[in-house]
């Protein structure tokens, strides 16, 4: 497969790169291993200094790297620039907190005495080179939320980015190098998907993290399991968005539109299944559809564009298949549902109603601006529909009833439950899912410890 920047707004190939050969790949693996030996002993203060410099550079580069992301995968420019700003925020968050998050832990004095020790410490030590296999939908953020904690913990990173965002991938290596990190601390591997297995099997690579499709996650997990290596996987979601009678319907409908079409609908944590109590279904549906129809579709480089093209031609074809299958099976198209004429891989904001379990879109993730509407008779049925999915990444619940909040917080099968607000990731909060959405956590203290060797240091009298 070619490694190329193809503008999804018009299908034009802007830049093409040759994949790395075996000799260059070997050089980079050697460099990662050698660099780790010394980088692991640097102080938190030194790592923080470098990470702050990277954040400052990213702030300066925001206009240009935002434009690059938009040209590579089609997100509206204002969203691309916001993504860059969010990355700089995460870098600073870890630069300022990593030392405290990874401080030695002291067991209870009674347990130390009971073990026959004079002192016991639990220490977090870096693992080594970590392979990151990353997707195109948030080409900067997905990488930084791995790289910032990994580098602050003393690991070094090897990035295998999606093949349609090579300029962003190369920018990230250059960013960390310009910030002062040694050359081998963070490297981009311009390789195809077929080369990932060999890199992961290499003994110098100690762990891997992947955000992407379920098949890709299964492949990486299988290889890592065979090699007995740690992995963190985030494999997508089909997040429920539950609206109950006590909700602020105007606000719930307004946020629902953004929650579905953010990043042109290509977000793992985008709300996708809208489950509405029968008492407020008609009112919510009317407001939601009106909001979806009002969105401006167009050139993602234009400041007033709400929804740009899908990132790939195949992605649009996959989305169309899901919509067509639902339509053939009896779904009602409340808006959208037809690809527009003209160049680019555009697809309109679409709302489908009358969804049932035999439709593919009920079971599969719709990666684009397509929403499915469900009518629930009561809270129990809403919860049943919400959990009737192979995925469990995040979720949204709209209610002003405290008991309902606690019920959904207890029983929703998801890594996050957002109440009266849109799912979003933040450096301070753990991010990840359950079921086929993957395992492990990114961000927060949980995320930085994922790629650490948790070491007990026991000292006798």
- Taking CA 8 as the corner, what is the angle to CA 6 and CA 11, rounded to the nearest 5 degrees? 65
Specify the 3-state DSSP secondary structure of 234. strand
In the chain, what percentage of residues exceed pLDDT 70? Answer: 100
What is the CB-side half-sphere exposure of residue 180 using CA atoms within 13 A? 12
pLDDT (0 to 100) of residue 132 = 98
72, 83, 173, 268: which one is catalytic?
Answer: 268
pLDDT (0 to 100) of residue 2 = 80
Q: How confident is the model at residue 381 (pLDDT cuts 50, 70, 90)?
A: very high
pLDDT tens readout for residues 157-189? 999 999 999 999 999 999 999 999 999 999 999
pTM of the full structure? 0.97
- Measured from the Cβ of residue 380, the count of other Cβ atoms closer than 10 Å reads 11
452 labelled catalytic: no
From the list 145, 161, 150, 156, the residue with the least C-alpha distance to 195 is 161
Query: Can you read off the two tokens belonging to residue 255?
Result: 């946020």
pLDDT tens readout for residues 99-153? 999 999 999 999 999 999 999 999 999 999 999 999 999 999 999 999 999 999 9
For 232-246, what is the mean pLDDT? Answer: 97
pLDDT (0 to 100) of residue 255 = 98
Residue 314's Cβ-count burial label (10 Å; 0-12, 13-18, 19+) is: exposed
pLDDT (0 to 100) of residue 331 = 98
Q: Answer for the pair 417, 433: CB distance below 8 angstroms, yes or no.
A: no
The distance between the two most distant Cα atoms of the chain, rounded to a whole number of Å, is 79
Calpha distance 345→313 (Å, rounded):
6
pLDDT tens readout for residues 190-214? 999 999 999 999 999 999 999 999 9
For 368-378, what is the mean pLDDT? Answer: 98
For 420-425, what is the mean pLDDT? Answer: 97
Calpha distance 15→190 (Å, rounded):
13
User: What's the whole-number average pLDDT of the chain?
Assistant: 97
234, 364, 365, 404: which one is catalytic?
Answer: 234
pLDDT (0 to 100) of residue 461 = 81
From the list 372, 179, 426, the residue with the least C-alpha distance to 260 is 372
Tokens 């953010």 map to which residue? 262
For 60-67, what is the mean pLDDT? Answer: 98
Beta-bridge partner residues of 239? 271
Output phi, psi for 166, to 5 deg: -65, -35
Calpha distance 309→302 (Å, rounded):
13
């Amino acid at each position: 497969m070619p490694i190329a920047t193809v503008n999804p707004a018009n299908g034009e190939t802007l830049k093409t790169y040759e994949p790395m050969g075996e000799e260059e790949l070997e050089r980079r693996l050697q460099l990662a291993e050698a660099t780790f030996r010394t980088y692991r002993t640097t102080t938190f203060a030194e790592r923080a200094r470098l990470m702050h410099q990277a954040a400052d550079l990213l702030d300066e580069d925001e206009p240009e790297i935002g434009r690059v992301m938009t040209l590579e995968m089609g997100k509206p420019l204002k969203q691309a620039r916001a993504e860059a700003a969010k990355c700089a925020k995460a870098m600073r968050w870890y630069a300022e907190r990593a030392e405290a998050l990874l401080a030695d832990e002291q067991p209870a004095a009674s347990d130390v005495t009971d073990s026959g020790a004079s002192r016991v410490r639990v220490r977090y030590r870096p693992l080594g080179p970590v392979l990151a296999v990353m997707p195109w939908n948030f080409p900067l953020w997905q990488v930084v939320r791995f790289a910032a904690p990994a580098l602050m913990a003393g690991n070094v990173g090897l990035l295998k980015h999606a093949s349609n965002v090579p300029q962003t991938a190369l920018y990230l290596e250059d960013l960390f190098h310009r910030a002062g990190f040694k050359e081998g601390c963070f490297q981009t591997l311009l390789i195809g998907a077929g080369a990932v297995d060999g890199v992961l099997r290499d003994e110098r690579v100690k762990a891997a993290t992947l955000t992407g499709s379920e098949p890709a996650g299964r492949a990486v997990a299988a290889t890592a399991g065979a090699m007995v290596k740690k992995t963190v996987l985030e494999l997508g979601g089909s997040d429920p968005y539950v609206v109950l009678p006590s909700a602020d319907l105007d606000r719930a409908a307004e946020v629902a539109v953004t929650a579905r079409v953010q990043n042109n609908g290509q977000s793992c944590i985008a709300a996708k299944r809208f489950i509405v109590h029968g008492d407020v279904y008609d009112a919510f549906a009317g407001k939601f559809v009106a909001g979806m129809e009002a969105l401006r579709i167009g050139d993602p480089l234009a400041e007033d564009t709400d929804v740009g093209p899908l990132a790939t031609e195949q992605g649009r074809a996959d989305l169309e298949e899901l919509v067509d299958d639902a339509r053939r099976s009896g779904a009602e198209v409340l808006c959208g549902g037809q690809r527009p004429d003209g160049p680019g891989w555009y697809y309109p904001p679409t709302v489908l109603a009358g969804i049932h379990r035999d439709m593919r879109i009920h079971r599969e993730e719709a990666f684009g601006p397509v929403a499915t509407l469900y009518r629930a008779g009561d809270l129990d049925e809403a919860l049943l529909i919400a959990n009737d999915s192979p995925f469990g990444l995040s979720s949204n619940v709209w209610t002003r009833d405290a008991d309902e909040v606690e019920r959904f917080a207890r029983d929703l099968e998801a890594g996050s439950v957002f109440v009266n607000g849109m799912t979003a990731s933040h450096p301070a909060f753990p991010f990840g899912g359950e079921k086929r959405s993957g395992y492990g956590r990114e961000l927060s203290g949980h995320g930085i410890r994922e790629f650490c060797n948790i070491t007990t240091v026991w000292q006798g009298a």
